[in-house]
Amino acid sequence: MGAVAPVPSPPHPVFVKAFLALAVGAAAVAAAAGCRDDAPVAPTAPAQAQSREQAPTRRSGPPVLGAAVSWDLMRSSRPYRRLFLAHYRALTPENVMKMDSMAPAPDRLHFTEADGLVRWARRHDVAVHGHALVWGKQLPAWMSGRDWEPGELRSWLESYVKAVVGHFRGRVDDWDVVNEPLAANGSLRRNLWLREIGPGYVADALRWAREANPRARLYVNEFNIEGRSRKTRGMLALLKGLRGDGVPLDGLGLQTHLTTSFNPGRAELRATMRRYAALGLAVDVSEMDVAAAPGRRDALEQARIYRRVAAACRDLPACGRFTTWGFTDASTWLGTAQRPLPFSAAGEPKPAWRAIRSALRR
């Protein structure tokens, strides 16, 4: 496929169609058929629709074990590549599918890096979870300070979501469609999408993704929603509203960025996961890490936390994927000194790794 595809930002459906034909590429085309800053969560459905619980999504077999990966390291470091392939069967791209990488200009989509990663994964029988289509961070530089005409950004975002999901249709069928939509108080987070499109952008993005790939599994992904909090209540309200309104949504990703002093208790975690699953959604662990101080005491506490979360995932039929955000302390967004991952910077298994494996296999 071409590395760079034209991406107009059209308000008219004719131009949207033309853009999709260019951006998706021949193979995918053949396969495809002013709101206020701190807005409340999108309006919920009528009470009857909200209260309707659906049968939870159920997996067969143990949860899939995955990790976020750096494509640069995967290409350049043989030890990094070998360590991943020895232990993991699924990956989430750390950066190459984020908007700043994929849309370097308003009229261009750049697929080279993401295509390379997906080809590599398919050669090695590794599943790819797409991350992330719509997020308020890591936006292209050209978006900063731009004066948007009414409806302009919404039209561009529709074109972008449909083009990216369509481009990878049949190769990437799981997507974090909306990443980190909530503020700590449970309202929608102040970001470009909220300001320019309004609170409906979450539902819009999910609908556009479904149109581009009817077989895709679509997720909302968020942090600090694993226990009792205003943010958790906000997420439950958002999910109930989306489900009640018939918005296509298949799952929720719990990022589970924890520390040895900040983590939910066993009962609290399990109860929260069950509440999400009762909405009929998959509830996956999507980005786990546990920052820890040096020393064996903290290493053992880190392992206990990993075991607790992995066991909660294993015991919940709706939890089909357990993913850590990286896998070696040599490459982590938190910095090597935080020691947050299951393998040391030298690639040696830590107590956390043994805890994860034993918990998932039981």
CA 243 to chain centre: 18
Active site residue 348: no
Which whole-number Å values give the CA distances from 301 to 94, 184, 246, in the listed order?
Answer: 26, 26, 42
Which one of the listed residues 94, 158, 180, 301 is annotated catalytic? 180
Which one of the listed residues 196, 222, 287, 301 is annotated catalytic? 287
Active site residue 158: no
Closest C-alpha to 253, from 132, 76, 360: 132
Closest C-alpha to 282, from 175, 362, 207: 175
Q: Which tokens sit at 237?
A: 């309200």
Query: Distance (Å, rounded) from C-alpha 65 to C-alpha 36?
Result: 40
Length of the chain: 362
Query: Distance (Å, rounded) from C-alpha 129 to C-alpha 124?
Result: 15
Closest C-alpha to 22, from 154, 209, 166, 204: 166
Catalytic residues: 180, 287
